[in-house]
Structure 1
Amino acid sequence: MTASSRRTLAHAQLASSVGDGIYLVTSAFYFARIVGLSPTEIGLGLTLGWAVGSVAGVPLGRLADRRGPRGVAVLLALATATAVACFLVVRSFPLFVVATCLYGTAQTGLSAARQALLAALVEPSERTVVRAVLQATLNGGLAVGAALGGLALHLDTREGYLALLAFDALTFVAAALVLLRLPAVPPTQASPTSRWGVLKDRPYALVTMINAVMMFYMPLLSLIVPLWIATRTDAPSWMVSALLFINTVGVLLFQVRVARRVKGLRDASVAVRLAGLVMFAACAVFAMSSSAWLWLIAGVLLQVAAEMLLASGAWEISFTLAPDDRQGEYQAFFGTGTAVARMLGPAVLTTVVIGGGTPGWLLLGAVFVAAGAAMAPAIRRAEARRSLEPA
């Protein structure tokens, strides 16, 4: 892969992640105050959107394999722009659900197509490091988008929200145009498979399920820790922003360094196991913040370390265990862990942690430890299956 292609992938990632940052910060307020939806309607609509997206991801990933990932990625970036543009005009719950389903489908498919594009353009030994560079870029873009979204929240006007969402849509148009600058990747000529495709690969499904459990860390800083701060600590409200800032800067500075240490499945399994242990430590420290809120800073430092270890290991696992001619399909399936965490994580973790207090934090940490420890034997099983497949 040329340095030019790497920069192009990073620029496309930056453009779309700025839009994602805007959406994450402003969408809930926009849907409630401008569209006029109730919190229940917003939650149900977003859940349905990500549920549809998780189901559509694998067929779209397979499409990327069969038609070429660059073209499919461009089309899905434009589809995401269309979905965001739809949010500008929807004023009823049924149309909101339609728009969220389009958004969830396009976003999930776009992620899979970009992963397939990366796998096709990058040598196997470099994929995890390049993916880490893109993740660091993503965090930088999210920070910029969040800052722009914060401006809209400060103004709190209909025009401000509409302008930012329109800009959000344009960022995905820009990402599509940038992706067109990459070399064309020919479609793969995969061997015939059953109509169940990746779903029939049980060892890979097991690895994906374990990763999905580990991905339940995702709602921690965006929802669970803020609720914990508000209900169980005397920490100032600005601490929420400070913790998100520490997380973002940590990934920007250290994700690539962490990823460089993962060179093969053995390293990846060690990284995921260590991530589970560090996440347990983070949960225990967050629990201690009920008596002294400064423990929150130590907790987020541990959490971001675990996040970077998990990401580096998961990227290596997902790429290495997937057949080269079916990367789009397999990456889409592996990515369902993110959709599951987005759908179920808020409800499950709110019940366990906010409802359970310190025991809830420790139970959550124990789940991370168990999932991290389960990854190594699951990888060995998947490797054994691959060794039995015909060359």
Structure 2
Amino acid sequence: MKKTYSMAAFAAIFVTVLSACGGGSETRYQTGSNTEAQVFNWNLPEHVPLPIVPTDNPVSEGMFALGRHLFYDQRLSGNASQSCASCHHQNLAFAESLERSIGSTGELHPRNAQSLVNVAFNTTYTWANPALISLEQQILVPLFGEFPVEQGINEDNKDSILAELSDDPVYQELAADIPNNDSSELLNFDIIVKALATFVRGINSFSSDTDRYENGETTILTDAAKRGRSLFFSEGLECFHCHGGYNFSDATADSSQLFVDMPFHNTGLYNIDGEGAYPEISQGIIEITGKASDMGKFKAPSLRNVNLTAPYMHDGSIATLGEVIRTYAAGGRNISNGPNAGDGRTNPFRDGFISGFNISEDDIQNLIAFLESLTDFELINNPRFADPWEN
């Protein structure tokens, strides 16, 4: 049987990885308004606030460049077969096309790989963990996690992996350019984690046709996309309640906020026992909180570039945007047969915004046209985020 996330599993992961990386200290945050943050290429429009950045990992172009190389390096895995980019492809907005990811040892992950675009603005990380509030924390999970194994770094291989990377002249040069590096080593796992976090923190996307439309290019959207935009922001469909704001997600935080909410939602995807149960392999934040009403609650991801990130939902169980819209229109998903059979529309923990709505097939296509207009083609072709080892 495949292992899944549980409170005990996460506890085991973080005991291991915090020890390995010297973590465990209090996390403090900066607004990103210091000198280094001002010269860092955030690629943000004026109306978007700077993201929250940990004070012990200020952004710099040096750390970004180091993180970019590490992100694409398969040597950063237990068997040198998998990099971060193996599950997060630039041409797919740093997501992948599999329903559920496969780790370096062939183990099937319980969840779908999310897009990494604009994750600097996330309130929490992964699909359903209110305890993961920084990229530095999250990155430890795929590197060192055992439930499931992803990149598969552990006590037996971490020293040899570090030695191989440290001996590479490319990394020696990159590490030497890191500002204020007070470590006795040019490269260690603390630096690796912080560099990866800096690179991912810098993958930002605000150049879609919808962004241009909002900035005054009123002819950039097709008529269908404009009709879909009106539907998206209507009280009848209520999409914007969970996917609103500049990042099209209610799980958004930035340096302008005094209070950060951390919402999670049950969308009526499953109800396998008639009492609200989701499949054991992935049940939402109940795995962390142990609270019965948290069954099936997951974070609402950003809809930016959503046309590139199929399949959808936390387990990749919905293949197309049209099917997603029809599921929400029905007020949840009714599975008639099989091991997950059950009527999600009657799930007692279903979010109040998932109440169903009437929509024609023409308007489904209009709504899809609007969602397609959230694609940022500059992002997926930007050499700043591309594989540096191919150049």
**Smaller-chain TM-score range?**
under 0.3
TM (norm. structure 1) is 0.26
TM (norm. structure 2) is 0.26
